[in-house]
Structure 1
Amino acid sequence: MNEERHHEYEPQDVEPLPHEADTMNNQSTYPSRSDWRPKSEERVRHKPRTNIKPLLLGGVGGFLGAALFFLAMMLWDSPTSRFMTNELIRTEQAVTFTESDITTAVTGAKTSVVSITNIQRAFTSNSQWEAGAGSGVIYKVEDDTAYIVTNFHVIEQADEISIAFSDGQVATATVLGEDPLNDLAVAAVELPDNIEATPIVLGDSTTLQAGETVMAIGNPLGVFSNSVTRGIVSGVERTVPVDTNSDGLMDYNAEVIQTDAAINPGNSGGALINIRGELVGINSMKIAEASVEGVGFSIPVNVALPVIDMLERDGRVTRAQLGVTIQEVIAVPGNVREEYGISFDNEDGVFVEEITPGSPAEQAGLQVGDVIVKIGDREIKRYVDLRDALYRDATVGDTVTIEYTRRGERNETEATLTEAR
């Protein structure tokens, strides 16, 4: 320990320095030099000098200083202090990245992102036009065939799909399967000798955290191919109601990644990558079209992959069905409520309008006029809840418990789900 040295302070005759704040409207936030320089005898000459007060003050000050020093040493050596110190060290050792890391990630991934042109033909002539443009991601190359995932709305109603690779080479693609509900589609391109296709590295969207840096790569506005926008993950495991057929009724709660990286028309179907250049999401303007500026959505790659596999293999997605035509209770007219004994105070649940003959619903004993309020563990309040219960929670062949009301009485039954056609 360094030897402590103490000096007795004797007041000295020193002229006060001019107050520095005089040059700033005579106001000062911080102490000026005249506040801490030794005061001159002139400023204290009217006060009687005494040795008792300085001694008392010095003694009290020494005692307080020693006590504070002792307390600080105890706190420094306490478990809490050590924990806080370790926390600070962990914070300082957090993983960081540089601009070159971002450039490296983008450089490695953008060769796997393609531009897509939706070409349609007129019914009455042989003329054709570009009906739309978007982006796609090469997720697999096998036997000289590149497999590309994009959004359904990018290739919807297309008579021909043109693919432009990152090097400018162009080829025609064949659509293998479509899934409007998840806004996903898969296309394949037979690669000629002059085209090299590189599949993107697949990441894990379940490990994403809010605040993590991400980049969106695509063909914004159908003009600027291989454009990059940078942002952060604003939220994970978000669900957004989606109207897939533009009928004004929400069809499905899409699970999405929320980001502030710009996702524009033409950017749809492109890649959302992390700082390692791995694919973590498929951008979708369709899902984001009703959102506000600075809020974009991307389909998590872990949600997309099972759908991609089914589209590539079967050309469609297999989903379970109950076999009912329904309407939300909140929209049921008053005369229908009276007919089936539905309380006017009841706004939750789905009203069974029609039952398909031979369907799981019919075999379970459901009737027209019943109100389904729960399937399995999921409360059914709106149409999207029923879709989630059938498409997200269950698969074909599952037996589910259904709770429903009939003329105000709550009942329960079971149904074995079949494949939707």
Structure 2
Amino acid sequence: MEYYDENRTENIPESGTRQRRSPGNRSGWFFAGFIGAIVGIVCFLIFAPILSDLGILPYSVTTGTQGTGNLGGSGTTTQQVNVKVNSGVTAAVAKVSPAVVAVINLQKANFFDNQYTESGIGSGIIYKRAGPYSYVVTNDHVVSGAGKVEVRMGDNQKVDAKVLGTDALYDLAVLRISSTDVKSVAEFGNSAILQRGEPAIAIGNPLGFSGSVTEGIISSTNRTIPVQANNASIEAQVLQTDAAINPGNSGGALVNIAGQVIGINSSKIASTGSGTDTSVEGIGFAIPINVAKPVISKLEGGGKIVRPMLGVSIVDLSMVPADETSQLQLPKSVKSGLVVTDVQTGSPAKKSGLEAGDVITSINGQKITSYISFSTYMYTNLKAGQTVRIQFYRMGKLHTAALTLGSKTFS
């Protein structure tokens, strides 16, 4: 009978000898790995500042002595690691923040008293400096009803502002202030090239907390929502973002990653519409800067916004349910247009013979692909008093009518 000795050496022909290892050696591997990890961490703490200075790390790391202690009779030193983050977002915020200001609405306490008290606060953007004056764009509802308007700069200094013009329909207003304390002017971007999912940064004064920054993405570049002003209703084109936009953000900047203003935030637009739940999160709206720029230009000159008017209520054909679309008896080739839902008495549309149920497909030869394309073309290229040619379908047949555009002022 043979006995097995785990410590003996076996003679293996042509291969030398083999010593069987004790299971206890496994603990040695564990401790070796543990010591290696500790050494790796220590090396990182030592060399991280050097790598940061060389630009290898995407952030800045500095170390400094925080204090000393005595453990077990031996002196030890604890080091504090400071991480300075530099990103596209922080750069964009630093670029535009000095041009974002607070706009204060002041009203008289009573008719006989000449004292003004703060009635509300919103945000604004300094977008232009020309000689002794600088210009601020904000929301119309921020300055609505104000007896006096003040602008609070980034250093908390307040300056008087003059309201040059307002547009209630697109919720925009332009103010003029002295250039003396203006240190920075915001740069306008291009809202036409925005993409869903790209970063969006909102800067303003929500609930009076000045200079607040929220970050999100562009949720939609092609959103329309109903807006009413001066007994008129339109579908306003807006940008949708999940960056938080709250009361006080109104008139502030929606910024892209390059620090350019791509939209004017509006909490009023966000709460427009019957049955809208204003407590929802992740849905904010801003006026696209490409839509706002021509309005801003007119308001800056002190002019009122006089828009051409058809005198109809319309809805985009794409928004009409399929069962109702079939009742319009449109040819299969017609995929877009505006469905007339109501015609105002005495309006240009009424005089031209338009009726509810008609589907407008072009105006002055410009094909209508959507409500946005129609309103953009009409408010940019057409003028009140101009006679245009309207093409529309009625019960499947194409008709043409001449229409002289009316006018509507929103201020």
Identify whether the pair has TM-score above 0.5, normalized to the shorter chain. Answer: yes
Alignment partner of 1:204 out of 185, 190, 193: 190
1:226 shift after superposition:
0.9
Counterpart in the other structure of 2:154: 166
Residue by residue over 1:250-304, the C-alpha shift from the partner in whole angstroms, topping out at 9 and shown as x without a partner, is x222212211111010011001111221111111111112453111111111111
TM-score by length of structure 2 reads 0.63
For 1:49, the equivalent position in structure 2 comes to: none
DSSP 3-state at the match of 1:355? coil
- 2: distance between equivalents of 1:361 and 1:399? 14
Alignment partner of 1:281 out of 263, 278, 284: 263
Q: Is the 8 A contact 2:392 2:399 kept in 1?
A: yes
Tell me the equivalent position of 1:225: 210
Q: Write out aligned runs for 1:87-102 (5 A).
A: 99-102=86-89
Q: In the alignment, is the contact (CA less than 8 A) between 1:149 and 1:269 conserved in 2?
A: yes
**1:388 positional shift:** 7.2
The normalised TM-score by structure 1 is 0.62
Of 132, 140, 151, which aligns to 1:152? Answer: 140
The corresponding residue for 2:252 is 270
Quick one: distance in 2 between partners of 1:379 and 1:280? 24
Alpha-carbon distance in structure 2 between the residues aligned to 1:398 and 1:148:
36
Q: Which one is further off, 371-380 or 395-404?
A: 371-380
Q: Percent identity?
A: 39
1:339-379 CA-partner distances (Å, limit 9, x unpaired): xxxxxx88x623334115xx5753xx438x76653262449
Give the Cα separation in 1 of the matches to 2:287 and 2:313.
28
Tell me the distance in 2 between the aligned counterparts of 1:297 and 1:405: 36
Between Structure 1 and Structure 2, which shows a larger proportion of helix residues? 1
Could you say which residue in structure 2 is the equivalent of 1:374? 360
Give me the whole-angstrom Cα distance separating, in 2, the residues matched to 1:241 and 1:388: 15
Rounded Cα–Cα distance in structure 1 between residues aligned with 2:100 and 2:217 = 20
* Aligned 8 A contact 1:141 1:197 in 2: no
In structure 2, the partner of 1:83 is none
Contact 2:340 2:356 in 1 (8 A): no
* AA partner of residue 198 (structure 1): S
Q: Which residue of 2 aligns with 1:354?
A: 345
Match of 1:136 among 103, 116, 124: 124
Aligned partners of 1:385, 1:352: CA distance in 2, in Å?
21
Deviations 1:149-206 (A, max 9, x none): 0111111111111100111111111111111111111110123x4x234211222222
Counterpart Cα distance in 2 of 1:260 and 1:252: 24
Greater strand proportion: 2
Letter in 2 for 1:183: D
Paired with 2:263 and 2:387, the residues of 1 have a C-alpha distance of: 29
Taking the aligned partners of 1:299 and 1:209, their CA distance within structure 2 comes to 15
Aligned equivalents of 2:286 and 2:350: distance in 1? 35
| Distance (whole Å) between structure 2 residues aligned to residue 314 and residue 238 of structure 1 | 30
What SS does the aligned partner of 2:301 have? helix
> Cα 1:361–1:136, aligned 2, differ >3 Å: closer, same or farther?
same
The equivalent of 1:213 in structure 2 is 199
- Please give the alpha-carbon distance, in whole angstroms, between the structure 2 residues aligned to 1:352 and 1:389: 21
- Write the letter of the residue equivalent to 1:355: G
Cα deviation per residue 1:74-104 (whole Å; 9 max; x = unaligned)?
xxxxxxxxxxxxxxxxxxxxxx997433222
Contact preservation (8 Å) 1:216, 1:273:
yes
Deviates more, 1:389-398 or 1:122-131: 389-398
Gaps of 5+ in 1: 1-13, 18-95, 330-344
- Work out whether residues 136 and 271 of structure 1, in 8 Å CA contact, stay in contact via their aligned partners in 2: yes
- Conservation of the 8 A alpha-carbon contact between 2:306 and 2:407: yes
Within 5 A, what are the aligned runs for 1:395-414? 395-396=383-384, 397=386, 399-403=388-392, 411-414=399-402
Instruction: State the distance in 2 between where 1:293 and 1:311 align.
Output: 33
Larger mean CA deviation between 110-119 and 274-283 belongs to 274-283
> How many angstroms does 1:403 deviate by?
3.2
Alpha-carbon distance between aligned partners in 1 of 2:183 and 2:146, rounded to the nearest angstrom: 23
Aligned partners of 1:378 and 1:389 also within 8 Å = no
Contact 2:391 2:398 in 1 (8 A): no
Classify 1:207/1:405 alpha carbon distance in 2 versus 1 (closer, same or farther; 3 Å): closer
Q: What amino acid is the match of 1:114?
A: V
* Aligned 8 A contact 2:216 2:243 in 1: yes
Compared with structure 1, are the counterparts of its residues 201 and 371 closer, same or farther at alpha carbon in structure 2 (3 Å cutoff)? same
The CA deviation string for residues 20-39 of structure 1, in whole angstroms up to 9 with x for no partner, is xxxxxxxxxxxxxxxxxxxx
CA contact 2:134–2:182 (8 Å) conserved in 1: no
For residues 375 and 182 of structure 2, the distance between their equivalents in structure 1, rounded to whole angstroms, comes to 41
Distance in 2 separating the partners of 1:385 and 1:280: 19
Contact 1:370–1:404 (CA under 8 A) maintained in structure 2: no
| Whole-angstrom CA distance in 1 between matches of 2:314 and 2:189 | 39
1:107–1:360 Cα change, 3 Å: same
1:44-76, Cα deviation, whole Å (9 max, x unpaired): xxxxxxxxxxxxxxxxxxxxxxxxxxxxxxxxx
What is the aligned residue count?
A: 306
Q: Do 1:284 and 1:298's aligned partners in 2 also have CA atoms closer than 8 Å? A: yes
* 1:18-417 alignment, distance < 5 Å: 99-122=86-109, 124-126=111-113, 127-191=115-179, 193=180, 195-221=181-207, 223-244=208-229, 251-289=233-271, 290=276, 292-322=280-310, 324=311, 349-355=340-346, 362=351, 365-366=352-353, 372-374=358-360, 376=362, 377-378=367-368, 390-391=378-379, 394-396=382-384, 397=386, 399-403=388-392, 411-417=399-405
Structure 1 letter corresponding to 2:222: E
CA-CA distance at 1:411 after TM superposition: 4.7
